[in-house]
Every structure is written in C-alpha cells, then in structure tokens.
Structure 1
Amino acid sequence: MKLKEIETITRSIAWGASKILHSYYCGKNRFETIESSKGNPVTTADIKSNAYILKNLQAFFPQDTFGYLSEENYKNNNCIKKDWVWIIDPLDGTKEFINQTGEYALHIALAYKGRPYVGVVAIPEAQTIYFATKGYGTFVEKLNHKITQIKVSNKNTIKNPSLVVSRSHRNNRFQSLINSFSTKDIIYMGGLGKKITTILEKKADVYLSISGKSAPKDWDFAAPDLILTEAGGKFTYFNGDTPIYNRGDVSQWGNFIASNGSSHQALCEKFMNILNHVDKKAIL
C-alpha cells in the first residue's frame, strides 16, 4: 500500500474519532474523568477515541507488520521492534477538553524508523483536519471534505515574533525565558496540536517548550512535527536536532522550538543564549 493510500485511510479514521470526541465535548454523551497514576486526567472520551482509532487502524494494518504506540495503551519504556509504528494521541489536551476551552486535538502519525511519514492532526471543535505525507506537503480538510494546501508564512521571525506557549506547563525557568525575549505577542494555549496549527494558520510564529519535571511525549510531537515541516516549517530542539520517535523512552526531554523556518537557526541560538543567562542568574 502506498503512503498516500495510507494517508486517506488515516484521515477517514481521524474524522470518525473527531466525531466521538465532539459528542462527549458537546454533552451528547456524558464522560467521566479518571485520574491516572501520574496525575494526568483520562476521560471516557480518551478511552473511546483510542479504542476506535486502534480498531480501525488494525483492520487495515496488521500488528505483525505495524507497531502501535498509543498514550492510552503505553505501559513501559521498551522500543517497539517494528520499522513502521503508529504513534497515537486519541485526545491531545485532556485538561482543555474537561475545561471546555475547545483547545484539544487528536494526533495520528505513522513513523518509519523513528521519523513520521504520515501525520494527521484533527481539531474537532473547528471541524478541521490537518494532514501531511512526507514529500507531498501539508493540507487542510474541512467537514465538507474540501481540501486545500497550506504553507507557513515567509515572515522573518527573528525580530518580535509572536509566541504560542502552554497555558499550564510553565515553570519559573520557562517563564523567565519568555519574559526575557522581545516578542510581539504571547498566546497561551492548551494542546500541542492546536498550538502548531496556529503557526500553520499564521496566527503565531514560534512555539517553545523546555523540559521541567516532565517532558512532551512521542504522541504529542509526531503528527504535529510532520504537518509543520511539510508546510515549510521547522520542528527541532534548540541545538537543531530533529526528534526521533519510538526510541524506548517516550519522553522528549530537552529544549524545543517550532517555527515557520525562516530564521529558525538564529532563533535557536538566541533562545539558547537567553536560557543560559537565565540559568546563570538563577545560580547567582
């Protein structure tokens, strides 16, 4: 099966899962909130979306060839011994879902030897899907199934870019970093998929994240990584390295930046210098 055929199947499954999430979000179906062992909430909607995605993917892509790494089924730090691995977040931004901000998404990515080749980010409350296949660009699909290609802006972002950052995952070190940077605007938002789509839609220029006691996981990054890079953006750590998925440890530790790519290296260097200054100041 060709990658574009896989992409078409994935989009169809993402639409089905989006309808499930929306049915719980709008109150058509009631959901319960369960506190996980790590203090992160899980809802009935997470579980139902996850079951739907896995059942439908596995109907087309058997487990003897394809691995499956899902937030709701993840149990240990063992690397999945398959070249092709599905990486799934059935509800990205569960807290936002519970708090009714609308800033939640679902992610489905297919990675080959650690890098995404197919990626879908669905935004249920916008009735929109962003999707990409490696080498083919990024597209947006609406509920009426109208499809248009999308590309990042060519704006020079080294001077006064607008930032999009987490509403809740900000420690003092991270707040000091963004306070020390000259920026046009800061958008506080939940859900990583939703944040990356703000760059695609030219509503923000740069996304930042630095690890504290926790870090983003493979299922947070994989699909947003591909939809941004195929649209012309960059998705790297401060040192320029690209994330590798299914390494065993699902946590993506480190300092991370996503941008439209026009001044990406310069931004990396600038944020590294600011962070070094913040860290030295904290020691003193």
Structure 2
Amino acid sequence: MQALLEQVLAVAKEADNVIMDVYGRAFDVTVKIDNSPLTEADKAAHHVILQGLQALSLAYPILSEEDVAGFTGVGQGGRYWLVDPLDGTKEFIKRNGEFTVNIALIENGTPILGVVTAPALGTAYVAAEGVGAFKVEEDGRRHAIQVAGKPSEGATWRVVGSRSHPSPDLAAWLDKLGEHEMLSMGSSLKLCLIAEGKADVYPRLGPTCLWDTGAAHAVIRYAGGRVDTLEGEPLSYANPAEKLNPYFVVWGSQHAQM
C-alpha cells in the first residue's frame, strides 16, 4: 500500500501544478447546475488525475466530481477511486490558499487510502491502511500525525468550521458541546487540522458530497479519529449513487464525545 500511496501522491502533485498555473493568472468562473462555481483549474486538475489514476497498474473505476456521469460503478473487491480535483473552489476564487486536491481509494464503503494536497500551501496529508497518517511539508519532509484525543473535563473544545458554509443548526449543537473556540478553515483542510491534533471536532450540519470527505476521512481514520453520522454510525461511501453525505461530525478521538 505504501507504493500505491506514493503513486497517488505524485498524481495529486501533478494536479497541484496545473491548479497553481491557473491560480497565478486571471481565470473565468462559471456556475454549475447546482449553483456551485467551476473554474478551468477544476477541469484541468480532473483530466490530470484521471490520466494519472488510469495509468496505474490497479485499474479501479473513478468517481470524480467533474465527471459523475463517467463513473461505471463500484469495481472488483468493492473498490473505486473517489476524487475531488479542486475542493474549496470558493476559496480558490478568493485566493486565500485554503483549497485542496482530494484522492481516496474506497473499499466496501470505507476509505483505505487518502491523499489531500494543498497546492497553495505546499503541504499534503497522506494515509493508507497498514501505513499510517502523515503530513508532508513543502520541503518533502514528512512526519506521522495523530489526533489530540478527547479534551479533558472542563477544557475548551477547539471546533473547526467552514469559511464558506455556515450552518444555522450549528449554534444549538455547540451549546450542547460546552465551552469552545471556533477555528475557521476552508475545504478538506478542516478534517486535516483534526488529524494533526490542531483541532478537536468538526460538526458538519450542512450539505457535502462523497468526494468532499473521502480522502481526508482516510487521513482521520489512520490518525486515530473518526467521522460519524449524527446517529453515531461511521460515514459510509458504499452507495456512490447517493452523492450527498448525511450530516456528520469529525472527532479527534475514538471514544464517544456527547
């Protein structure tokens, strides 16, 4: 799995390059049917990732946000690639650097490999079954990461939230949580903050799609955390025909929190 992880990281880095080429100049923004923005960077990154994954010796079906219709269904062994070529397009348009490339390998509904790169920040988060979870610095150095664990009794929870998608249901949920401070972040970097122990919990009480979470979910898993639905069940990717995730909470611990 280590070799495959490195190959996928290389593919994501190629996508980083084409994204940053667009980021450094003027670009047009169009609007998709669901009213989400789309740039040429999204499309260019999709094509690079598609070609890169198809060139691997392991030929699994690919579900990409930018070509949902091209997905042929879950492959052998319950596996498929789950891709968001540019997560955080709104952050990309704002040029605040908080956008990512997300590539996950799903097996029987569970992410078993994930690569999240942050092109403008020069960093990446990688994880795989039997390998662990790591942060890759801009100079290539990498170090193992792990969640912080449940805050001690009476401690202030570090809650990470979205810059672009505030939720009206969030206030009531936070009241139940107790003393907390909010950290704002865009894209799948929110989950990665928890994976490296810099935040404790991320309640997402708003719409997301499978490709928004798959890669970072793998990073969370192998860093010792979890992603649960509001019913306490692990967030599943077993039915890719259902593109929307249910509401979920990312916990920096394996133990029940509320």
Q: Same fold (TM over 0.5)?
A: yes
For 1:190, the aligned partner's letter is: G
DSSP-derived class of the 1:73 partner: helix
Match of 2:60 in 1: 66
DSSP-derived class of the 2:198 partner: coil
Alignment of 1:179-194 (within 5 A): 179=175, 181-191=177-187, 193-194=188-189
Match of 1:238 among 230, 236, 241: 230
Distance 1:72 1:41 in 2: 12
C-alpha deviation, 1:177, in angstroms: 2.7
| Greater C-alpha Rg | 1
Alignment of 1:103-252 (within 5 A): 103-156=98-151, 159=154, 160-179=156-175, 181-191=177-187, 193-211=188-206, 215-247=207-239, 248-252=241-245
For 1:151, the aligned partner's letter is: Q
C-alpha deviation, 1:228, in angstroms: 0.8
Preserved contact between residue 85 and residue 102 of structure 2 (Cα < 8 Å): yes
Match of 2:18 in 1: 20
Moved more, 72-81 or 178-187: 72-81
TM-score normalised to structure 2 length? 0.90
Aligned residues: 255
TM-score normalised to structure 1 length? 0.83
Preserved contact between residue 78 and residue 249 of structure 1 (Cα < 8 Å): no
Match of 1:278 in 2: none
* Poorly superposed stretches of 4+, deviation over 4 Å: 76-79
The percentage of aligned residue pairs carrying the same residue is 29
DSSP-derived class of the 1:87 partner: strand
Distance 2:54 2:152 in 1: 42
For 1:174, the aligned partner's letter is: L
Distance verdict in 2 for CA 1:154–1:179, change over 3 Å? closer
Distance 2:244 2:11 in 1: 26
Distance 2:191 2:113 in 1: 16
Structure 1, gaps ≥5 residues long: 271-284
